[in-house]
Chain A
Amino acid sequence: MVVRAPMPGTIISVNFKVGDSVKAGDVLFILESMKIKNEIKAPQDGKIKEILVTEGQYVKRRDTLVDIEE
């Protein structure tokens, strides 16, 4: 399943790499939007298949951030 940006902003932290296992609720990214830092969490357990953003990248709402393999 893919995780999308809930709002536009800048990715200021990517907390994992491809192949890492994550649990539901793990913080995947910190997305800064209008000076507010937002934690983007894993919606389910799984393994990181593909990361589509890098630190410092500006994302629009609904942009895909990561693909998680169940």
Chain B
Amino acid sequence: MLERILDFFSFTGFAHLYWGNVVMLLVGGLLIYLAIRKQYEPLLLLPIGFGVILANLPVTGLLVTGSETELGGLLYYLGLGVKLAIFPPIIFLGIGALTDFTPLLANPKTFFLGAAAQIGIFATLFGALALGFSLSEAGSIGIIGGADGPTAIYTSALLAPHLLGPVAIAAYSYMAMVPIIQPPIMRLLTTKRERAIVMEESRCVSRLELILFPIVVTVLVVLLLPKAAPLIGMLMFGNLLREAGVVERLARTAGGALINIVTIFLCVCVGSMMGAEAVLSVKILEIFALGIIAFAFGTAGGVLIGKLMCWLTGGKVNPLIGAAGVSAVPMAARVVHVEGQRANPENFLLQHAMGPNVAGVIGSAAVAGLLISFLT
């Protein structure tokens, strides 16, 4: 009888559970706690956390690689959407359908702020190289500074798939912490007088401009950086659906049901890549440390270029809006608005900050294309 009980026990997950799994089950639980209790990026951290739990329950076969003769696990097949870099561009299609580029077009010079904030990616890339990561790993870690989850996942999947889980979680965790990370840097680099600057109302943007923008950006950026085509192409296609005004059903689906469905699968799969063996063998603490450096440098780069613009325009640009260039839409723009109001309660920077904020999305996708071109 005892032998049968032991025999049964050996088939259960308990018999195969080791300390690494337990650590990762706790990590999964922590992510779910942060999502529910602290409301840190709940749409993302909750499915990622559950994916971590699923991946660390032994002998489930969920992640078994499939072949022509062997049936693979559910998460293996779903994970192909991540490994083959299909899900992130689909998410970008939805983001494009949800993004209003009017603030950027109303004040095109803010595009430079979106570009400047990408400096965090390169600063981190060199930091990662100094810590002994390979070039492709460094590129994958650096992209955390783009503050854009799908871009980070897409780049990591192509450059260093073994780092995908930690990189994605670092990117999403830091994006949730933008309201904590950015304000001290913004205050350090600006004076109260600069933060209090009220920006003039931007010009009106015509419908024709809004329709032409996604087409022109796609053609120009993809000609310049062909490897950015999946991200930029889908982002701008989604935006064209939105601005065309004749395919509302498609725009609503792309920015609603489709992005939600793909987010569920993408995040569960990202979580499922956090198996104990995979995670505990990489230098995860270094990745998280480099990730925060990426955010800090990106914020500082944007604010400093904002200061330069402030000086060049005779004080018409509030340098705080540069911090929104890290993307992390729309949290970074919200942080700018709140900091601006703290210095001057009559200051409404939200719309002005959305310019560099959406420019940051284009900027990080373009840099992703650049990294993929040179590092693969």
Tell which of B201, B341, B350 has the most Cβ of chain A within 10 Å.
Answer: B350
Q: Does B83 contact A (CB under 8 A)?
A: no
A34-B334, A36-B337 in contact; A41/B346 too (CB < 8 A)? yes
Would you give the shortest CB distance from B321 to chain A, in whole angstroms?
13
Instruction: Digitize A26-55: 1 where CB-to-B-CB distance is under 8 Å, 0 elsewhere.
Output: 000000011110110100000000000000
Q: What CA separation (Å) do A39 and B338 show in the bound complex?
A: 12
Contact A33 B350 (CB under 8 A): yes
Would you give the shortest CB distance from A12 to chain B, in whole angstroms?
15
Tell which of A33, A35, A61 has the most Cβ of chain B within 10 Å.
Answer: A61
Q: Does B77 contact A (CB under 8 A)?
A: no
Q: What CA separation (Å) do A7 and B333 show in the bound complex?
A: 13
In the complex, chain A residues whose CB is within 8 Å of the CB of B334:
34-36
Contact partner of A7 (CB less than 8 A), chosen from B341, B345, B346, B350, is B350
In the complex, chain A residues whose CB is within 8 Å of the CB of B126:
none
Q: What CA separation (Å) do A41 and B345 show in the bound complex?
A: 10
Contact A7 B338 (CB under 8 A): no
In the complex, chain B residues whose CB is within 8 Å of the CB of A38:
341, 348, 350
Q: Does B61 contact A (CB under 8 A)?
A: no
**Chain A interfacial residues counted at CB < 8 A:** 12
Q: What CA separation (Å) do A36 and B348 show in the bound complex?
A: 11
Contact partner of A6 (CB less than 8 A), chosen from B333, B345, B348, is B348
In the complex, chain A residues whose CB is within 8 Å of the CB of B345:
39
In the complex, chain A residues whose CB is within 8 Å of the CB of B201:
62
Among residues of B, the one whose C-beta sits closest to the C-beta of A62 is: B201
Among residues of A, the one whose C-beta sits closest to the C-beta of B100 is: A8
Among residues of A, the one whose C-beta sits closest to the C-beta of B329 is: A34
Among residues of A, the one whose C-beta sits closest to the C-beta of B347 is: A6
Tell which of A35, A36, A41, A62 has the most Cβ of chain B within 10 Å.
Answer: A36
In the complex, chain B residues whose CB is within 8 Å of the CB of A7:
348, 350-351
Among residues of B, the one whose C-beta sits closest to the C-beta of A38 is: B348
Contact B338 A36 (CB under 8 A): yes
Contact partner of B333 (CB less than 8 A), chosen from A8, A34, A41, is A34
Q: What CA separation (Å) do A38 and B341 show in the bound complex?
A: 9
Q: Could you list 18 examples of A-B contacts with CB < 8 Å?
A: A6-B348, A6-B351, A7-B348, A7-B350, A7-B351, A8-B351, A34-B334, A34-B350, A35-B334, A36-B337, A36-B350, A38-B341, A38-B348, A38-B350, A39-B345, A41-B346, A61-B351, A62-B201
Having A6-B348, A7-B351, A34-B334, one finds 12 other A-B pairs with CB under 8 Å, namely A7-B348, A7-B350, A8-B351, A33-B350, A34-B350, A36-B334, A36-B337, A36-B338, A38-B348, A39-B345, A41-B346, A61-B351
Please list the residues of chain A having a beta carbon within 8 angstroms of any beta carbon in chain B.
6-8, 33-36, 38-39, 41, 61-62
The 8 A-B pairs at the shortest CB distance, nearest first, are namely A6-B348, A7-B351, A34-B330, A7-B350, A7-B348, A36-B334, A33-B350, A36-B337
Please list the residues of chain B having a beta carbon within 8 angstroms of any beta carbon in chain A.
201, 330, 333-334, 337-338, 341, 345-346, 348, 350-351
